[in-house]
Structure 1
Amino acid sequence: MDVSSFVLLSHEQALRRQLDVAANNMANVSTTGYKREQALFHEYVENTQDAPVQDARKTSFVLDYGAVHDVSQGAFQATGNALDVMIDGPGYLNVQLPDGSTAYTRAGFIKVLDTGELATSGGQRLLDENGRPINVPTDQVGSLTIAPDGSVMAGEEAVGRLAVTSFADENMLEARGDGVLTGSGGQMMTAAQTKLRSGGVEGSNVEAISETTHMVEILRSYQTSQRLSSDLADMRRNAIGRLSKLT
């Protein structure tokens, strides 16, 4: 396989990666708090001093560097549930995983477990500023509200405050696939820094029309690359055929 084939192969692998990411975005267009991903690629230039012509000495390949998150905020979706919250700005709600470790989510569907603890719709317990689950008196569940600073109010009394953590580089967070992310290096936000909006949740920031257009562009680029591969194969066959007639 010659250099041109390697270059086209690296390009097609990059396009396949882009298509996978775009398809995953489309699958999560209705997922609460989902952040659109975008494939990240770098150019790798290889210098070949023994190339037959000057223009062929530099060969550009495509390297896959993973995916980055679009951290722009999704639209507010009203639910009518006073416990549901949307984080207005940066940050993630702190939740407890089954192994006791802390994870993060922007999916603000909140419910009260039979044990009286606040949890997400997936059953992960929500944590307070001290890393402990928030317990609610069973006789005050019906009067629960959540203040903009994250305070959980049972009538006029605060029974806890939802912990919200921000990250300087949100691309360091790793998605688990259930609306929950894991990572380290976050900073707990103070009550003054926390801005929650109750009565609804944050929708996905994926724009279906834009993502569909992007997928079409990827497919067209792949088709172009395939045509180039076919043209190169034809050139090789013709060259071999001519050489065989000369010998």
Structure 2
Amino acid sequence: MKRRLVHMYILLLKLFGMKMVHFIHIGKTGGSAVRNAFEESSIVNGRYLLSYPYLFHMHGHEFTLEDCPSGEFVFFTIREPVSRFVSSFYSRKREGRPKNYNPWTEDERTAFTFFGTANELGEAIGSAEDKIRKKAIRAMKSIGHVKSSYWDWFKNDAFLISNKSKIFHVLRQERLSDDFDAFKRKYNIEVKSLTNDPIKSHKNVVELDTKLSSLAIQNISNWYKEDFYFLELMQELGLVEKCHMNYE
């Protein structure tokens, strides 16, 4: 009954001309911090925030550009792919804790048995030893977030280009706090600033070995070449400003 009332309320707001803006939550790009800020200020069910003339709808990882109805919009965060890989690796190594607890799959358990650091996995992707390389490739295709691509949320380049008009705003994880504050000012959105709490923002809360060798960086960059293409296309479409995208 409660869900039905929420649905009716949202329909009523849309009838009065509110523009629906959906949040696409791309894993390990700072989306948890953005969602937390919106949800703490939400008016309905922790998922909707009204900021005239916009109605923001926060989603989990399942919502994609293809799910966005005609006449509605999306916003999201993006991140340099190699940095995203490192964050993804350690997020799943700790099984999402302490914010969440999502136990390893059997394939993830196998992957973390062989590869203790992001660098070890990164170097192994291009190993000359067939056995090691195959284990690494299997790990890359099995570990949550690591196995995902931007195109899981945006389908392909033709689809992204044809739906460019639906993209409301894009934030960069590398400068997320500044981008988020500018985003709030631009659209007069009354939400809190991003939290510094590492648990709420789903960050690593312990010191980790995040250093990558030049070999690992090259291998990982090659693996995510389609994701680098996605970011380049976003720049070409004028959706984000041109900026340095190499991992540092």
Note whether the superposition's TM-score is higher than 0.5: no
Say which structure is richer in helix.
2
**Which range, TM-score by smaller chain?**
under 0.3
Q: Which has the higher strand share?
A: 1
TM-score, with length taken from structure 2: 0.23
Larger Rg: 1
